[in-house]
Homo-oligomer: A and B are copies of this chain.
Amino acid sequence: MRDVARAVEMSPMTVSRALRGDETVNEKTRDRIRRVAADLGYVYDSTAQAFRTQKSGFVAVVLPSINNANFAETFRGLSDALTGSGVQLLLGSTNYRLEKEEELVGQLLTRNPEAIVLTGGHHTDVTRKLLENAKIPVIEIWDLPPDPVGHVVGFSNADAMSLIVQHLVRQGRRKLAFVGAAAGSDMRGVARRDGVIAAATALDLTQVAQIDAGPAPVSMRHGAEVVVKLGPAIATYDALVCVSDPVAFGVLNECRRLGIKIPDDVAITGFGHFEIAAVSSPRLTTAGVHANKIGRKVAGVLQDIFAGETSAQWIDVGSELVLGETS
C-alpha cells in the first residue's frame, strides 16, 4: 500500500480509503488510485486488516460431514446467500464425533471468526465453555436444541419421524423397525430413533425394533448390508424406518434383488428428501427437510447480527411428509 501511495504521490491513508471505497476521497483520485494499484499488481492484505480492525471477516461453519448431500446443500445455501457480503466461510467437519468438534472449535476460534455455526445441539462441556468465552454469536442448525447456546435454525427430527410413523400406522403397519447408525455416534440419528419410538408408543405399538447399520456415517451400502444380515427375519417387520434416504435406498435395492415386494411385503421410509428419493423407482417415502433453506436462513441471521440485531433468533424451518411408492 505504501508503494501504491508513493506511485500516486499521496499518503497510504488516502490509498487505504480509496481502495475501500470511502466516499470522502475525491472520485477522480479514487479511480486513479484503483487503477494504479491494479497496474502495480498490488494485492490487498486482508490479514493486516483483520488484525488492525479486529474483524476477521470469517464465519466458522462446523458440519458433521461435507460428503452428505444435505449438509453440502446447507453450506451451499449459506455460501450463495453470503456472496458479495465480504464474508469468508471457514469450514470444518467433525466426522460425526463430538471430540473432533471440540478440537475444531478450538482451532477455529483462534481465527477470530465473527460468528460460528454448529450442526446440532449436542456439544462437550469444553466446547460449550469455549463458545461462551468467545463471546461471538453462535448458531446451532439442523436441530431444535432444548438448551441452545445462541441462535437456532433447524427443525425437530423427532416431529419429522413422528409424521412418518403416523403415516405408516394409518396404513395399518404395526411392526416397525428403525434402521440407523450404532447408538451414540450420530446425535441426529439418535434423535430420529427416539422420535420413532416416542411416536410409536403414543400410538400403542408394542415395540420398535432397532437395527444397527454400523458406525456413522451410514449410507447406501450399509442399508443393503442390513437386509443381507437380516435374512428371512425381515418378514418379522412390516415397515423399515430408515435414518436417511441413502440407507433406505440401499435397503430398497437389496430387497428388490431378493424379490421382496415393496411396499406389499414391507414398507420402507427414508429421511431427508435427498435427490435419490425422487429418482429411485419406486420413489421413496421420506421426510422432506429444507437443507438449502436452513443455509439461507442462517445467512439472514448473520446479516441481522452484523446489522446490530442482538436478540437470539429461533427459526423452525419445519419438515413434511413426502409420500412415495415405498409405503
Contacts and interface: CB of A to CB of B under 8 A. Distances in A.
Interface string A130-154: 0001100000000000000000000
Interface in A236-283: 246, 249-250, 253, 256-257, 275-276, 278-281
B76 A66 contact: yes
Interface in A188-219: 219
Interface in A110-135: 110-112, 129, 133-134
Contact of A110 (B44, B72, B221, B275): B44
Contacts of A51: 47-48, 50-51
B275 A253 contact: no
Contacts of A88: 90, 107, 111
Given A91-B91, A110-B43, A73 B67 contact: yes
A276 B43 contact: no
Nearest to A220: B279
B220 A133 contact: no
A90 B279 CA distance: 33
B93 A46 contact: no
A68 to B, nearest CB: 8
A133 B40 CA distance: 10
A231 interface: no
Contacts of A279: 220-221, 224, 249-250, 253
Is chain A's binding surface mostly helix, strand, loop or mixed?
helix
Number of copies: 2
A317 interface: no
A275 B246 CA distance: 10
A321 interface: no
Interface string A46-58: 1110110000100
Considering residues A47, A48, A109, A276, which has the most beta carbons from chain B within 10 angstroms of its beta carbon?
A47
Contacts of A93: 76, 79
A303 to B, nearest CB: 18
A187 interface: no
A256 to B, nearest CB: 7
A262 B251 CA distance: 22
A69 interface: yes
A107 B278 CA distance: 37
A75 interface: yes
Contact of A72 (B66, B221, B257): B66
A97 B216 CA distance: 34
Nearest to A75: B66
Nearest to A219: B275
Interface of A: 41, 43-48, 50-51, 56, 65-67, 69, 72-73, 75-76, 79, 88-91, 93, 107, 109-112, 129, 133-134, 219-221, 224, 246, 249-250, 253, 256-257, 275-276, 278-281
